Amino acid sequence: MAFTKKIFILVLSLPVVLGLVAPQKRALCPDGVNSAANAQCCSLFQVREDLMNNLFENECGDASHGALRLIFHDSVGIDPVVGGGGADGSILTFNATELTFPANAGIDDVLDDVGPFALKWAHVLSPGDFVQFAGVLSLAACPGAPKVKFMMGRPPPTAASPPNLVPQPFDPVPTILARFGSIGIEPQEVVALLASHSTAGADDIDPNLQGLPFDISPSTFDTQIFIDVQLRGTGFPGSGGNQGEVETAVQGTLRLQSDHLLARDSATNCFWQSFANNQELMMSQFAAAAFKMGLLGHNEADLIDCSDVIPQPPPFAGSPSFPPGQTITDVEQACSTAAFPDLPTQPGPPLVVPPIPQADDDDS
Protein backbone atom coordinates (compact mmCIF):
# COMPACT_ATOMS: atom_id res chain seq x y z
CA MET A 1 0.00 0.00 0.00
CA ALA A 2 2.81 2.38 0.88
CA PHE A 3 4.52 1.52 -2.39
CA THR A 4 1.33 2.28 -4.35
CA LYS A 5 1.03 5.63 -2.59
CA LYS A 6 4.62 6.50 -3.52
CA ILE A 7 3.91 5.60 -7.15
CA PHE A 8 0.84 7.84 -7.06
CA ILE A 9 2.91 10.75 -5.74
CA LEU A 10 5.58 10.09 -8.37
CA VAL A 11 2.98 10.12 -11.16
CA LEU A 12 1.57 13.42 -9.92
CA SER A 13 5.02 14.99 -9.81
CA LEU A 14 6.17 13.72 -13.21
CA PRO A 15 4.63 16.60 -15.23
CA VAL A 16 6.59 19.10 -13.13
CA VAL A 17 9.80 17.04 -13.43
CA LEU A 18 9.34 16.76 -17.18
CA GLY A 19 8.68 20.50 -17.48
CA LEU A 20 5.10 20.04 -18.65
CA VAL A 21 3.60 22.05 -15.81
CA ALA A 22 5.43 25.04 -14.35
CA PRO A 23 4.82 25.39 -10.61
CA GLN A 24 3.09 28.68 -9.95
CA LYS A 25 4.32 30.64 -6.96
CA ARG A 26 2.43 33.85 -6.33
CA ALA A 27 2.97 36.54 -3.75
CA LEU A 28 -0.02 37.65 -1.72
CA CYS A 29 -0.18 41.43 -1.99
CA PRO A 30 -0.43 43.71 1.06
CA ASP A 31 -4.10 44.40 0.28
CA GLY A 32 -4.83 40.79 1.20
CA VAL A 33 -6.95 40.38 -1.95
CA ASN A 34 -4.68 40.32 -4.99
CA SER A 35 -1.64 38.23 -5.73
CA ALA A 36 1.11 38.50 -8.32
CA ALA A 37 3.86 36.32 -9.69
CA ASN A 38 6.28 39.09 -8.70
CA ALA A 39 5.64 40.96 -5.46
CA GLN A 40 6.98 44.16 -7.04
CA CYS A 41 3.86 44.23 -9.22
CA CYS A 42 1.48 44.43 -6.25
CA SER A 43 1.48 48.22 -6.25
CA LEU A 44 -0.11 48.20 -9.70
CA PHE A 45 -3.45 46.80 -8.59
CA GLN A 46 -4.49 50.09 -7.00
CA VAL A 47 -3.44 51.95 -10.15
CA ARG A 48 -5.41 49.49 -12.25
CA GLU A 49 -8.59 50.02 -10.29
CA ASP A 50 -8.24 53.80 -10.40
CA LEU A 51 -7.69 53.90 -14.17
CA MET A 52 -10.41 51.41 -15.01
CA ASN A 53 -13.02 53.10 -12.82
CA ASN A 54 -12.12 56.77 -13.04
CA LEU A 55 -10.27 57.26 -16.34
CA PHE A 56 -11.80 54.65 -18.66
CA GLU A 57 -15.01 54.31 -16.63
CA ASN A 58 -14.94 50.62 -17.64
CA GLU A 59 -15.87 51.54 -21.20
CA CYS A 60 -14.16 51.17 -24.56
CA GLY A 61 -14.62 54.87 -25.21
CA ASP A 62 -12.70 58.00 -26.02
CA ALA A 63 -10.41 57.87 -22.97
CA SER A 64 -9.39 54.27 -23.62
CA HIS A 65 -8.85 55.01 -27.31
CA GLY A 66 -6.59 57.94 -26.41
CA ALA A 67 -4.51 55.92 -23.95
CA LEU A 68 -3.90 53.28 -26.61
CA ARG A 69 -2.95 55.93 -29.16
CA LEU A 70 -0.44 57.38 -26.70
CA ILE A 71 1.54 54.12 -26.69
CA PHE A 72 2.41 54.49 -30.34
CA HIS A 73 3.09 58.22 -30.36
CA ASP A 74 5.49 57.76 -27.46
CA SER A 75 7.17 54.50 -28.49
CA VAL A 76 7.92 55.49 -32.09
CA GLY A 77 10.10 58.38 -30.86
CA ILE A 78 13.39 56.61 -31.50
CA ASP A 79 15.65 56.38 -34.52
CA PRO A 80 19.06 54.79 -35.15
CA VAL A 81 20.39 58.05 -36.63
CA VAL A 82 18.82 60.93 -34.71
CA GLY A 83 18.27 59.10 -31.41
CA GLY A 84 15.35 59.28 -29.01
CA GLY A 85 14.30 57.17 -26.06
CA GLY A 86 11.47 55.16 -27.60
CA ALA A 87 8.91 53.95 -25.06
CA ASP A 88 10.18 56.22 -22.31
CA GLY A 89 7.24 58.51 -21.56
CA SER A 90 8.92 61.58 -23.02
CA ILE A 91 5.57 62.56 -24.52
CA LEU A 92 4.39 63.11 -20.92
CA THR A 93 7.49 64.70 -19.43
CA PHE A 94 8.47 66.82 -22.42
CA ASN A 95 4.98 67.47 -23.75
CA ALA A 96 5.73 71.18 -24.28
CA THR A 97 8.13 70.10 -27.02
CA GLU A 98 6.45 67.02 -28.44
CA LEU A 99 3.00 68.59 -28.72
CA THR A 100 4.45 71.02 -31.25
CA PHE A 101 5.08 68.12 -33.64
CA PRO A 102 2.35 68.17 -36.34
CA ALA A 103 1.85 64.39 -36.12
CA ASN A 104 0.90 64.76 -32.44
CA ALA A 105 -2.14 66.92 -33.19
CA GLY A 106 -4.88 65.93 -30.77
CA ILE A 107 -2.51 64.35 -28.25
CA ASP A 108 -3.00 67.41 -26.02
CA ASP A 109 -6.56 66.22 -25.34
CA VAL A 110 -5.24 62.76 -24.45
CA LEU A 111 -2.71 64.24 -22.04
CA ASP A 112 -5.43 66.35 -20.46
CA ASP A 113 -7.20 63.08 -19.61
CA VAL A 114 -4.29 60.86 -18.57
CA GLY A 115 -1.91 63.50 -17.20
CA PRO A 116 -3.51 63.88 -13.75
CA PHE A 117 -3.41 60.09 -13.29
CA ALA A 118 0.24 59.94 -14.37
CA LEU A 119 1.09 62.55 -11.74
CA LYS A 120 -1.02 60.83 -9.09
CA TRP A 121 0.81 57.53 -9.55
CA ALA A 122 4.29 58.89 -10.31
CA HIS A 123 5.57 57.22 -7.12
CA VAL A 124 4.58 53.84 -8.59
CA LEU A 125 5.18 54.15 -12.33
CA SER A 126 7.77 56.04 -14.34
CA PRO A 127 6.39 58.09 -17.26
CA GLY A 128 7.33 55.35 -19.72
CA ASP A 129 5.76 52.66 -17.58
CA PHE A 130 2.61 54.72 -17.10
CA VAL A 131 2.09 55.27 -20.83
CA GLN A 132 2.48 51.56 -21.52
CA PHE A 133 0.41 50.44 -18.54
CA ALA A 134 -2.49 52.78 -19.30
CA GLY A 135 -2.47 51.86 -22.99
CA VAL A 136 -2.36 48.12 -22.41
CA LEU A 137 -4.94 48.37 -19.63
CA SER A 138 -7.30 50.37 -21.84
CA LEU A 139 -7.82 47.25 -23.95
CA ALA A 140 -9.37 45.47 -20.97
CA ALA A 141 -12.55 47.49 -21.59
CA CYS A 142 -12.75 46.61 -25.30
CA PRO A 143 -14.51 43.38 -26.36
CA GLY A 144 -12.37 41.37 -28.75
CA ALA A 145 -9.06 42.94 -27.71
CA PRO A 146 -6.09 40.72 -26.90
CA LYS A 147 -4.30 40.83 -23.58
CA VAL A 148 -0.95 42.55 -24.22
CA LYS A 149 2.02 41.84 -21.96
CA PHE A 150 3.20 44.63 -19.67
CA MET A 151 6.74 45.07 -18.38
CA MET A 152 7.69 47.54 -15.63
CA GLY A 153 10.96 49.27 -14.85
CA ARG A 154 11.59 51.81 -17.62
CA PRO A 155 13.84 54.65 -16.41
CA PRO A 156 12.60 58.25 -16.62
CA PRO A 157 13.08 60.00 -19.98
CA THR A 158 16.04 62.32 -20.30
CA ALA A 159 15.00 64.33 -23.36
CA ALA A 160 12.16 64.94 -25.77
CA SER A 161 11.80 62.77 -28.83
CA PRO A 162 13.43 64.17 -31.96
CA PRO A 163 10.85 65.65 -34.38
CA ASN A 164 9.41 64.02 -37.49
CA LEU A 165 9.45 60.44 -36.22
CA VAL A 166 5.68 59.86 -35.98
CA PRO A 167 4.22 58.85 -39.38
CA GLN A 168 1.51 61.11 -40.79
CA PRO A 169 -1.80 59.90 -42.32
CA PHE A 170 -0.85 61.51 -45.64
CA ASP A 171 2.58 59.82 -45.86
CA PRO A 172 3.03 57.39 -48.77
CA VAL A 173 3.37 53.70 -47.95
CA PRO A 174 7.13 53.48 -48.65
CA THR A 175 7.74 56.35 -46.22
CA ILE A 176 5.63 54.71 -43.50
CA LEU A 177 7.27 51.31 -43.93
CA ALA A 178 10.76 52.83 -44.00
CA ARG A 179 10.10 54.73 -40.76
CA PHE A 180 8.90 51.61 -38.97
CA GLY A 181 11.54 49.45 -40.62
CA SER A 182 14.28 51.65 -39.20
CA ILE A 183 13.19 50.61 -35.69
CA GLY A 184 12.69 46.94 -36.49
CA ILE A 185 8.93 46.88 -37.15
CA GLU A 186 8.16 44.75 -40.22
CA PRO A 187 5.37 45.51 -42.76
CA GLN A 188 3.12 42.77 -41.38
CA GLU A 189 3.57 44.19 -37.89
CA VAL A 190 2.69 47.68 -39.15
CA VAL A 191 -0.60 46.34 -40.50
CA ALA A 192 -1.24 44.39 -37.30
CA LEU A 193 -0.74 47.54 -35.23
CA LEU A 194 -3.44 49.25 -37.27
CA ALA A 195 -5.96 46.93 -35.64
CA SER A 196 -5.93 49.71 -33.02
CA HIS A 197 -7.89 51.79 -35.52
CA SER A 198 -10.83 49.45 -34.93
CA THR A 199 -11.44 51.36 -31.68
CA ALA A 200 -10.25 54.78 -32.77
CA GLY A 201 -11.53 57.98 -34.26
CA ALA A 202 -10.34 61.18 -35.87
CA ASP A 203 -10.49 64.48 -33.98
CA ASP A 204 -8.19 66.61 -36.11
CA ILE A 205 -8.51 65.54 -39.75
CA ASP A 206 -11.75 67.39 -40.47
CA PRO A 207 -11.47 70.68 -38.56
CA ASN A 208 -15.25 70.86 -38.09
CA LEU A 209 -15.86 67.33 -36.79
CA GLN A 210 -14.57 65.29 -33.84
CA GLY A 211 -14.80 61.65 -32.83
CA LEU A 212 -15.23 60.33 -36.37
CA PRO A 213 -14.79 56.53 -36.12
CA PHE A 214 -12.61 54.67 -38.59
CA ASP A 215 -15.04 51.74 -38.84
CA ILE A 216 -18.63 50.95 -37.95
CA SER A 217 -17.91 49.38 -34.53
CA PRO A 218 -15.56 51.71 -32.60
CA SER A 219 -16.41 50.19 -29.21
CA THR A 220 -15.28 46.71 -30.27
CA PHE A 221 -11.74 45.59 -31.04
CA ASP A 222 -12.64 43.55 -34.10
CA THR A 223 -11.55 43.05 -37.69
CA GLN A 224 -14.12 45.50 -39.09
CA ILE A 225 -11.44 48.09 -39.90
CA PHE A 226 -9.89 45.60 -42.34
CA ILE A 227 -13.27 45.11 -44.01
CA ASP A 228 -14.58 48.67 -44.15
CA VAL A 229 -11.36 50.19 -45.50
CA GLN A 230 -11.29 47.66 -48.37
CA LEU A 231 -14.69 48.84 -49.60
CA ARG A 232 -15.02 51.35 -52.41
CA GLY A 233 -15.18 54.89 -51.07
CA THR A 234 -18.24 56.93 -51.94
CA GLY A 235 -18.14 60.11 -49.86
CA PHE A 236 -16.87 62.10 -46.91
CA PRO A 237 -18.36 62.52 -43.44
CA GLY A 238 -17.91 66.29 -43.69
CA SER A 239 -16.65 68.74 -46.23
CA GLY A 240 -13.93 66.48 -47.64
CA GLY A 241 -10.71 67.65 -49.19
CA ASN A 242 -8.81 67.45 -45.90
CA GLN A 243 -5.17 66.37 -45.88
CA GLY A 244 -4.86 62.73 -44.87
CA GLU A 245 -8.48 61.82 -45.70
CA VAL A 246 -9.96 59.89 -48.63
CA GLU A 247 -13.53 58.86 -49.44
CA THR A 248 -15.12 56.37 -47.05
CA ALA A 249 -17.70 53.65 -47.71
CA VAL A 250 -20.01 54.16 -44.71
CA GLN A 251 -21.62 57.44 -43.68
CA GLY A 252 -20.28 58.82 -40.43
CA THR A 253 -16.89 57.13 -40.66
CA LEU A 254 -13.64 58.74 -41.76
CA ARG A 255 -11.02 56.90 -43.80
CA LEU A 256 -7.40 57.79 -43.36
CA GLN A 257 -5.38 58.02 -46.55
CA SER A 258 -2.62 55.90 -44.98
CA ASP A 259 -5.06 53.09 -44.09
CA HIS A 260 -6.55 53.22 -47.59
CA LEU A 261 -3.15 52.95 -49.24
CA LEU A 262 -1.81 50.23 -46.94
CA ALA A 263 -4.89 48.14 -47.76
CA ARG A 264 -4.06 48.42 -51.46
CA ASP A 265 -0.26 48.55 -51.71
CA SER A 266 1.43 45.36 -52.91
CA ALA A 267 3.79 45.40 -49.92
CA THR A 268 0.94 45.16 -47.42
CA ASN A 269 -2.40 44.41 -49.08
CA CYS A 270 -2.36 40.64 -48.48
CA PHE A 271 -1.42 41.16 -44.83
CA TRP A 272 -4.34 43.58 -44.57
CA GLN A 273 -6.75 41.14 -46.18
CA SER A 274 -5.58 38.24 -43.98
CA PHE A 275 -7.08 39.91 -40.91
CA ALA A 276 -10.50 40.65 -42.45
CA ASN A 277 -12.13 37.42 -41.28
CA ASN A 278 -9.59 36.12 -38.78
CA GLN A 279 -10.11 37.63 -35.32
CA GLU A 280 -7.64 35.29 -33.62
CA LEU A 281 -4.86 36.06 -36.10
CA MET A 282 -5.45 39.79 -35.73
CA MET A 283 -5.46 39.55 -31.93
CA SER A 284 -2.27 37.51 -31.67
CA GLN A 285 -0.32 39.59 -34.15
CA PHE A 286 -1.47 42.89 -32.66
CA ALA A 287 -0.52 41.73 -29.15
CA ALA A 288 2.97 40.71 -30.28
CA ALA A 289 3.57 43.91 -32.27
CA ALA A 290 2.25 46.20 -29.51
CA PHE A 291 4.47 44.50 -26.95
CA LYS A 292 7.43 44.92 -29.29
CA MET A 293 6.67 48.64 -29.61
CA GLY A 294 6.63 48.95 -25.83
CA LEU A 295 10.18 47.61 -25.62
CA LEU A 296 11.69 50.11 -28.06
CA GLY A 297 14.65 51.75 -26.34
CA HIS A 298 14.76 49.10 -23.62
CA ASN A 299 16.09 45.63 -22.88
CA GLU A 300 13.36 43.20 -21.86
CA ALA A 301 15.77 41.47 -19.49
CA ASP A 302 16.03 44.69 -17.45
CA LEU A 303 12.28 44.90 -16.89
CA ILE A 304 9.82 43.12 -14.59
CA ASP A 305 6.96 41.14 -16.10
CA CYS A 306 3.74 42.41 -14.49
CA SER A 307 1.40 41.05 -17.15
CA ASP A 308 -0.73 39.22 -14.59
CA VAL A 309 -2.03 42.59 -13.34
CA ILE A 310 -3.69 43.19 -16.73
CA PRO A 311 -7.24 41.74 -16.90
CA GLN A 312 -8.36 39.58 -19.80
CA PRO A 313 -10.55 41.71 -22.12
CA PRO A 314 -14.11 40.54 -22.86
CA PRO A 315 -14.36 38.12 -25.79
CA PHE A 316 -15.57 39.14 -29.23
CA ALA A 317 -19.16 37.94 -29.64
CA GLY A 318 -19.80 38.84 -33.28
CA SER A 319 -18.58 37.60 -36.64
CA PRO A 320 -16.94 39.34 -39.62
CA SER A 321 -19.48 40.88 -41.97
CA PHE A 322 -20.06 43.64 -44.48
CA PRO A 323 -21.89 46.75 -43.32
CA PRO A 324 -25.61 46.92 -44.18
CA GLY A 325 -26.13 47.45 -47.89
CA GLN A 326 -22.58 46.37 -48.80
CA THR A 327 -21.48 43.11 -50.44
CA ILE A 328 -18.42 41.52 -51.99
CA THR A 329 -19.10 43.58 -55.14
CA ASP A 330 -18.18 46.73 -53.19
CA VAL A 331 -14.71 45.40 -52.34
CA GLU A 332 -11.71 46.86 -54.13
CA GLN A 333 -9.68 43.69 -54.51
CA ALA A 334 -5.98 44.34 -53.96
CA CYS A 335 -4.23 41.15 -52.82
CA SER A 336 -3.12 39.23 -55.92
CA THR A 337 -2.71 35.82 -54.28
CA ALA A 338 -6.11 35.34 -52.61
CA ALA A 339 -9.63 36.65 -53.03
CA PHE A 340 -11.20 38.83 -50.37
CA PRO A 341 -13.54 36.68 -48.24
CA ASP A 342 -17.19 36.72 -49.29
CA LEU A 343 -18.73 37.68 -45.96
CA PRO A 344 -22.40 37.96 -44.98
CA THR A 345 -24.00 41.39 -45.01
CA GLN A 346 -25.39 42.85 -41.80
CA PRO A 347 -29.18 43.31 -41.99
CA GLY A 348 -30.91 46.66 -42.05
CA PRO A 349 -30.68 49.94 -43.94
CA PRO A 350 -27.32 51.61 -44.69
CA LEU A 351 -25.68 52.91 -41.54
CA VAL A 352 -24.94 56.43 -40.44
CA VAL A 353 -22.35 55.81 -37.72
CA PRO A 354 -22.56 58.35 -34.87
CA PRO A 355 -19.44 60.15 -33.59
CA ILE A 356 -17.58 58.72 -30.62
CA PRO A 357 -18.58 60.70 -27.50
CA GLN A 358 -15.61 62.76 -26.38
CA ALA A 359 -14.13 62.29 -22.91
CA ASP A 360 -14.40 66.00 -22.12
CA ASP A 361 -18.06 65.91 -23.18
CA ASP A 362 -18.70 63.18 -20.62
CA ASP A 363 -17.41 65.43 -17.86
CA SER A 364 -19.67 68.36 -18.70
Q: Give me the helix-helix angle, 279-294 and 62-75, nearest 10°.
A: 50
**Residue 308, marked binder:** no
In contact, 321 and 343? CB cutoff 8 Å: yes
Q: Return the H-helix or E-strand segment holding 143.
A: none
Annotated catalytic residue, options 65, 73, 260, 298: 73
284 is in an annotated binding site: no
What DSSP assignment string belongs to 17-59?
HTTSSPPP--EEPTTSS-EESSGGGTTHHHHHHHIIIIISTTS
Residue 206 marked in a binding site: no
Whether residue 215 is annotated as binding a ligand: the answer is yes
- 222: annotated binding-site residue? yes
Active site residue 123: no
The per-residue b/e assignment along 100-138, b for 16 or more CB within 10 angstroms, e otherwise, is ebebbebbebbbebbeebbeebeeebbbbbbbbbbbbbb
197 is in an annotated binding site: yes
Whether 126 has a binding-site annotation, put simply, is: no
Using an 8 Å Cβ cutoff, are 127 and 94 in contact? Answer: no
The three-class DSSP label of residue 206 is coil
Active site residues: 73
Which residue numbers belong to the known binding site for Ca(2+)? 74, 86, 88, 90, 198, 215, 222
Which residue numbers belong to the known binding site for heme b? 197
Which residue numbers belong to the known binding site? 74, 86, 88, 90, 197-198, 215, 222
